[in-house]
Chain A
Amino acid sequence: MPNDTTQLDATQTPTADAAIEAPESKDAPDSVGIVTPVSYHFDEPLLLRSGKTLLAYDLMVETYGELNAARSNAILICHALSGDHHAAGYHSATDSKPGWWDSAIGPGKAIDTTKFFVVALNNLGGCAGSTGPTSINPDTGKPYGPDFPVVTVRDWVKSQLQLMDRLAIKKWAAVVGGSLGGMQVQRWAISYPDRVANAVCIASAPKLSAQNIAFNEVARYSITSDPNFHAGRYLEHNTYPKQGLMLARMVGHITYLSDSAMRAKFGNAGSQLENTTRGNLGRDLRSGTLSFGLNVDFEVESYLHYQGERFSSNFDANSYLLMTKALDYFDPSVDYGNDLSKAFAGGDCKFLLVSFSTDWRFPPERSRELVETLLKAGREVTYLEVEADQGHDAFLMPIPRYINAMRGFLDNAYKELVNDAS
């Protein structure tokens, strides 16, 4: 669910400024370089799953690469919980960090911008430029706040279809996403099967389990019980539920990592020993000694504080609540008598599914369920179960097996569209 490529960056210490990352990578031949987001305005009302209607809305969009003459080489990138339209490249020469999926998108990368025209957007209800809780509600002249309607994965995909039509793209060469993004990929294949040639669904699930919903509820409760939440109207009070957001992110963060990833990340002192990270189980101390007080003693504590702090100052609390609701509500089988294979019965897009061995938020068994469903529906599926230590976060990492499979799969997608044209 996180869209945050720095999370496992070994150079990232809790007190470090993000600017320590190498700025020269902007000029790297495999970077899309400096990119400028574009806002698209839509006047057509969008009827939402809840029954409410958004009369007009904006979508913030970034694109990389060139759309070919046949307009057949477009790939849609669907972001996860805290992601946005800034998937690759940099916004300015002084930008310290690239977009959240820069490891996968660029010239010669797995999602190759010399072949494909890549479209990434910020979903409705987000807080990075598309219409969401921080936007002004035309009815009141104030920010929507808690009045922004609950949006579902289906609603997002519906709005993505509007964007697709605006860009005059008939069929996506591929729709690609991980985690909550993978749910959008599934929804595309179900709702608009004729508009998708290939579906890449990474570390996702056909619906959340109770444990997953429980984690989301802890996150929501920590936000809504913050005294600065003001029933969601915190902006009108010139404040925001910082503590609540921090706590939500800290809990979330733990679930995105694996035990082994944390041992490795916070067990550097142990690496001096013969038996590497197993030496201290990731118990590196901040100052080398215990404080015998309620201070931050261990590196992992300070890391969580830093991540929570950083997230809370960049992400809108109402958006976070909406995104977690979209996750919880996702279950396309409800329209098909709880038989998801019927949902996938139409269409002929090919699927690539990938899961990661230590991901306990969206574990391999959930992807296997999807594989079984797709096979039952008679669909063409490729599935990889990748050994990776990074837990759920692995889907954002340049793990060779995973990246190579995505590259191989998309290369074939490209060959097909070239063959179709000739």
Chain B
Amino acid sequence: MIVFDKPKALADVPLHYCPGCTHGIVHRLVAEVIDELGIEGKTVGVAPVGCSVFAYNYFNCDMIEAAHGRAPAVATGVKRADPDNIVFTYQGDGDLASIGTCETVHAAARNENITIIFINNTIYGMTGGQMAPTSLPGQITQTSPYGRDVNTVGLPIKVCEMLSQVDGASYLERVAVNNVKNVRNAKKAIKRAFQNQLEGKGFSLIEVLSTCPTNWGLTPDKALKWLEENMIPYYPLGVYKDKYSEEGK
């Protein structure tokens, strides 16, 4: 009896991600949700520039590779073309919170009926570890070699907090994938974000605090610890907006 198998929505190919990177976990969670909701045949994913740009090799649903930062606009075009299809984007922090801030905010403002999976690992992974809009104060990266100096480059952007001020947005939640409990919560949030779209509830964004052991210069287990000790205090987990629940109003 098989008790543990690959989700059907995930292709049976090796992922290119570095050892210890949490992209694999999040891919799996998205694929499990697609399976559980039975929506693979009508799901279209959009993965723009970043480490996850090769997501089109990993998800079995139709996939679109998009320009850096533009996934919410591309997803808008896909969703308007086929409103009955389920459209999700899978974006990193440089993509979503730096070059694509405009597209992110306006997709939220329109309450575009799409689902955004936002990977926040405080760094540009694919290009080799540069400072991201979400890099923590003092964080050492390739382009902040003396640590992020908030006097010259400012403070990190907290995406869920920022978007919670946008009236249009429906559902915003920040989760983490650093331990089993948090992974289970992350899956719940991702499922909710897809369900919202099925029910026509509009813009849902799940921010997933993730690791980048390679560019952080940490072993996988130390990276998980770093996430817990440094990221979660700065980026508190939880629901930031939920138009459709009593407590979220």
A and B associate: no
